[in-house]
Amino acid sequence: MTPFLPSPRKLRWGIAGTGGISRQITADFSLVGNADVVAVSSRHAASANEFADAFGIPTRFDDYSSMLDADIDAVYIGTPHVTHFEHARAALQRGRHVLCEKPIGLNAAEVRELAAIASESGAFLMEAMWMKFNPLYARLHEIVDAGAIGEIRSVRSSFGAPFPKDDSSRWKPGGGALLDQGIYPVTLSHMFLGEPLRITASGVVREDAVDLSQNYTLEYLGGRFAHGASSMVNFLDQSASLSGTGGWITIDTGFWFASKLTVHRFSVGKGEATETYEVAREGNGYVPMLRAVTSSILNGEVEHPFHTMEETARVFDTLDEIRRQITSNGQARS
């Protein structure tokens, strides 16, 4: 974790978007030292005013560009994900530090373009993959690194839930299950197995290219593999597991924000032995990430080592190939 260095002032954050995720993030910012939310923007003045009043934010805008020109250091982007690339690019070009809700772009090319712009501007840039900063995952890495289950041989994870068919961007071109939900299983696979050698995927895609569900297998050297799935039209088991040569680890339902995991070992004669580890959630669960990002920016870093832009781009390489396969071979559904 990046060491925290005191700053003579707090980092001034602007919030782009006033939806549910922005509300949770803003509430969690109140638990982060050396961070102040000083501005918010929405497409509608009424929404910006209501949000600002609710959280005691002094400055509000009905235009994102105007907020970027205000007295802020960094911006959190919580708008619909089809807008993330443009909003992040605009902020970086103005020299603002950026924490962008996932997915940070629609494909790997957009991710790498943003990384290049950030490098040129000297601004911090990170996708808000809060799972990586969850204290449970810090404990998980310690357990795995200590050899508790031997060599990791496979990863299993899925995230599926039937979302109501509304006017949200999820149901519009550019939306879909893969980037909204599938990004978590794919990221988990990359965290513990790395980039796959081979990908096999299938799914259900509407005629307007909105993907409704997908499942995939990622293959690695030596027979290692990852199985994953995501859906926005039906439930899927939302737990996860890592299996190794000496045992396996299960992560509770909602694996991307879970607070508990269990280590399982088995031996002939003794049967199964388990150890459970649990961590306390701070705020809505985003506090560890927000604290780490704020510390990185105040320390003069341009990215966080837990989730670099190149690692993000590699995850998108995998997502791109899954999308290519399900678009080419997937079943159509209206």
The catalytic site residues sit at: 102
Token pair for 206: 């509407």
Q: Is 151 exposed, middle or buried (0-12, 13-18, 19+ CB in 10 A)?
A: exposed
From the list 307, 281, 282, 283, the residue with the least C-alpha distance to 293 is 307
CB 230 within 8 A of CB 178: yes
The rounded distance, in Å, linking the Cα atoms of 128 and 130 is 6
CB 158 within 8 A of CB 292: no
Where residue 254 falls (left for φ over 0; alpha for ψ -120 to 50; beta otherwise) is left
The rounded distance, in Å, linking the Cα atoms of 37 and 131 is 22
In one-letter notation, the amino acid at residue 304 is H
The rounded distance, in Å, linking the Cα atoms of 109 and 161 is 29
| 243 DSSP β-pair partners | 154, 248
CB 126 within 8 A of CB 97: no
Q: Provide the b/e sequence for 238-269 (b: ≥16 CB within 10 Å).
A: bbbbbbbeebbbbbbeebbbbbebebbbeeee
In one-letter notation, the amino acid at residue 198 is R
CB 217 within 8 A of CB 226: yes
